[in-house]
A and B are shown apart, each in its own frame.
Chain A
């Protein structure tokens, strides 16, 4: 069974994000970039499926600038067999990425596509769902457990009220939640082996996909600074404020 995993290059989770001076977005120049942590979980799940003899090939896909090659190299070092970069300098929004992934899926015909439930930069949480809709495939989002069977998969999902277990038909889209697994560390020997694995570069045009942004960002601003609090004289005054001003009790 072929498994496709999408990996996004994002600002590292340790970096203190700064807004660009002109308010057009977030500063990414000279900032440490890494693989989206949810995508690491997605890749780890695929590698475990391969180690368990369920998956036969893992293809990692990334959409974005040329530097996404680094993210794909990491994916190859973690255990993907080959990688595809869809190179574009455009701002790629979830719909555009979903369309690109759809084109790749039609080309590669995977039985399972695993994506992070969201990327930690824009927190959109849309690409997996859009991809499932575009392909007309079944989807299981926010997975915390995946069990593969022949023609179907049983997926435990993290939902607001607790856990929900569903059965989906293959081919299918799965998006990962935080507790699905704990990703492994890249080892140096595997980094070296990854250098020999194939990395193919495609363009959106060759896939016949229009990636023009459909949404326009008007302005990006820092969150407002927290204002100083007030001191209350006694418990009575506190209860009074909580009841009448904050209206929380």
Chain B
């Protein structure tokens, strides 16, 4: 019996599973072969209503809640992390922040485009000297007549090289910093002084890229401020709580697929006259993986239900993100081991999953940051 966030979502999962298995999976293999994302991916996701699925219906979004969005992340993660990034770029941190904190004009300008897939967004927080310690950021915003002038550098920003609008966090009051001195700006591609200066590939899939953004005397009108001046840090932190549950569900989806693949492989591969699945060494690996996944899923779904009930789940979201990201790392490691040589070669998805899941322990708050937050709450 499949555990569900709510009983109603069983039907949604069935639809997602069918679509992912039959339509997305062949494209995932093509991404692996070419290192590029086929153009039809965006069209396919738009046609099926996945782009902007969490944005408000009034602006052309799908109007879906966080659990449904997380379920889509989970099912897409069974195929390829790249697909989850399309959801993130149109329904993730930045889009949701615009929908929540944006002015009417900003919503009209961006939310519609994000919902129909013509625009993509990115979230620019991390800097060369400000990662987990994001309050140490050096990007500055100076007030000028009719607007602001920004200077600084952001890096490791997922998808920023293809983003049409990037949320840039900058310090407008160095004395206050995280306590009201950081502001969020919406910066459009092509704004003078705003440039993509490097694109990095990572340990993960070659198609997934991080960008460096250089901001050099970039003038922005007052209308580019998201929310209130000085509210930026709060916007970033609130966005991150939901993001952590999204990451948790992505980990759950990948672990689920890897266990399924491992069990199937173990049943078919015969060594010394016996299927691998008959060997206790393999059975124990599978049993550990399945147990850890079940626990991760139960607590993450419970936390999603609490979010929907309006509870504050800051610490619980950190626990989910910490446990799920470390869990999928162990599951992926065992999956490679069970698959043996086949787990190492390119062209079969196990090695790519193994590389892609490493991101989850680092991105959107590293394991260490999550532990710090959990301990801080415990010891307060």
Cα of A185 to Cα of B50 in the assembled complex, Å? 12
Q: Interface-forming stretch among A53-61, A69-77, A153-161?
A: A69-77
Specify the chain B residue showing the minimal Cβ separation from A188: B49
Chain B residues positioned under 8 Å from A192 (CB to CB): 64
Cα of A34 to Cα of B1 in the assembled complex, Å? 15
Contact A188–B23 (Cβ < 8 Å) = no
B287 part of interface (Cβ distance < 8 Å): no
In the complex, per-residue mask of B3-30: 1 if CB is within 8 Å of any chain A CB, else 0: 0000000011011101100110000000
Chain B residues positioned under 8 Å from A191 (CB to CB): 11-12, 15
| A189 with B62, Cβ < 8 A, contacts A70-B11, A73-B11 known | yes
* Chain B contact residues: helix, strand, loop or mixed: helix
Contact A74–B11 (Cβ < 8 Å) = yes
Contact B1–A188 (Cβ < 8 Å) = no
- Near A by CB (< 8 A), chain B positions 32-47 give 47
Chain A residues positioned under 8 Å from B49 (CB to CB): 187-190
Which residue of B18, B22, B64 contacts A188 across the interface (Cβ within 8 Å)?
A: B64
Residue tally, chain B, CB below 8 Å to A: 19
Chain A residues positioned under 8 Å from B14 (CB to CB): 34, 74
Chain B residues positioned under 8 Å from A77 (CB to CB): 11, 15
B72 part of interface (Cβ distance < 8 Å): yes
Contact B11–A185 (Cβ < 8 Å) = no
Cα of A192 to Cα of B63 in the assembled complex, Å? 10
Q: How far is the CB of A34 from chain B (nearest CB, A)?
A: 8
Cα of A191 to Cα of B23 in the assembled complex, Å? 18
A186 part of interface (Cβ distance < 8 Å): yes
| Further pairs besides A74-B14, A188-B68, A190-B49: 10, Cβ < 8 Å | A30-B1, A34-B14, A185-B19, A185-B48, A188-B15, A188-B50, A188-B53, A188-B72, A189-B62, A191-B15
22 intermolecular pairs with C-beta atoms under 8 Å apart = A30-B1, A34-B14, A73-B11, A74-B11, A77-B11, A185-B48, A186-B15, A186-B18, A186-B19, A187-B48, A187-B49, A188-B15, A188-B16, A188-B49, A188-B62, A188-B64, A188-B68, A188-B72, A189-B49, A189-B62, A190-B49, A192-B64
